[in-house]
């Protein structure tokens, strides 16, 4: 089975799982739980939609059942936040809800638009270094967008554990992928100049 099928199935199941947590903990009157459901549930559906319209070929590789289960276990760590919210009856202040929603929207824009630009550009001209548009200031703006998305979700739990999970993803999954990407792009003659004028992750910062 392709890697994307394991990932997409997990993404689709996020909304039902969070709803089940709300039902089990009787959190129907908790605004934070509903906001979390709306954000993470919608993101899961958008991810699957994106994978159909402009797929990432890195997820097209075949994966064994064992590796698929590892992927599932890793992704399930993201469900710690809704469990903390529903089991503890966490109700974030309205200001934090506003911050989380804003971070989520900005993150979705950066993540999805960058992926769309990459897919479109490489479809038209497969062998090229993309240095304009969303990638003019950051070489990994899609990862920065994903970071903002999961930061928004983690903040809603008002607990350190979801933030630790996010740091773990950044250090052990995203950072190695970004380093591999840089090594791959180094084959282009203009990459070194592009690398010097852009940031690794966060535009204008780093």
For the stretch 156-179, pLDDT in tens is: 999 999 999 999 999 999 999 999
pLDDT at 155: 98
H helices of the chain, where? 3-24, 31-53, 65-76, 80-88, 94-124, 141-156, 160-169, 175-185, 191-197
Here the tokens at position 196 are: 């010097």
Give per-residue pLDDT as tens, 11-30: 999 999 999 999 999 999 99
pLDDT at 204 over 90: no
pLDDT at 92 > cutoff 90 = yes
Max Cα-Cα span within the chain: 59
C-alpha closest to that of 39 among 152, 145, 169, 167: 152
Residue pair 78/149 in contact (Cβ under 8 Å)? The answer is no
Q: In the predicted model, what is the mean pLDDT of residues 38-49?
A: 97
Q: What is the pLDDT of residue 206?
A: 63
pLDDT band at 151 (very low <50, low <70, confident <90, very high): very high
Q: What is the pLDDT of residue 4?
A: 84
Q: CA–CA separation, 98 vs 102, rounded Å? A: 6
**pLDDT per position as a tens digit, 106-145:** 999 999 999 999 999 999 999 999 999 999 999 999 999 9
Helices 31-53 and 3-24: angle between axes, nearest 10 degrees? 160
The whole-number pLDDT of residue 55 equals 82
Domains of the chain, residue spans: 3-197
Helix axes 80-88, 3-24, angle to 10 degrees: 0
Angle between helices 80-88 and 160-169 (to 10 degrees): 180
């Amino acid at each position: 089975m392709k890697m994307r099928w394991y990932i997409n199935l997990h993404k689709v199941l996020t909304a039902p799982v969070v709803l089940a947590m709300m039902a089990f903990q009787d959190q129907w009157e908790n605004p934070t739980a509903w906001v979390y459901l709306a954000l993470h549930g919608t993101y899961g559906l958008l991810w699957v939609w994106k994978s159909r319209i402009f797929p990432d070929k890195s997820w097209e590789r075949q994966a064994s059942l064992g590796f698929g289960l590892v992927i599932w276990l890793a992704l399930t760590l993201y469900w710690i936040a809704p469990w903390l919210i529903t089991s503890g009856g966490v109700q974030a202040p309205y200001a934090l809800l506003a911050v989380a929603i804003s971070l989520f929207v900005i993150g979705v824009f950066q993540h999805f638009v960058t992926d769309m630009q990459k897919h479109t550009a490489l479809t038209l001209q497969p062998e090229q270094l993309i240095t304009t548009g969303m990638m003019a200031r950051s070489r990994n703006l899609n990862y920065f967008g994903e970071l903002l998305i999961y930061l928004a979700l983690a903040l809603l739990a008002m607990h350190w554990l979801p933030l630790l999970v996010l740091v773990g993803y950044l250090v052990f999954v995203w950072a190695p992928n970004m380093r591999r990407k840089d090594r791959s792009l180094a084959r282009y003659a203009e990459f070194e100049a592009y690398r010097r004028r852009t940031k690794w992750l966060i535009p204008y910062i780093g």
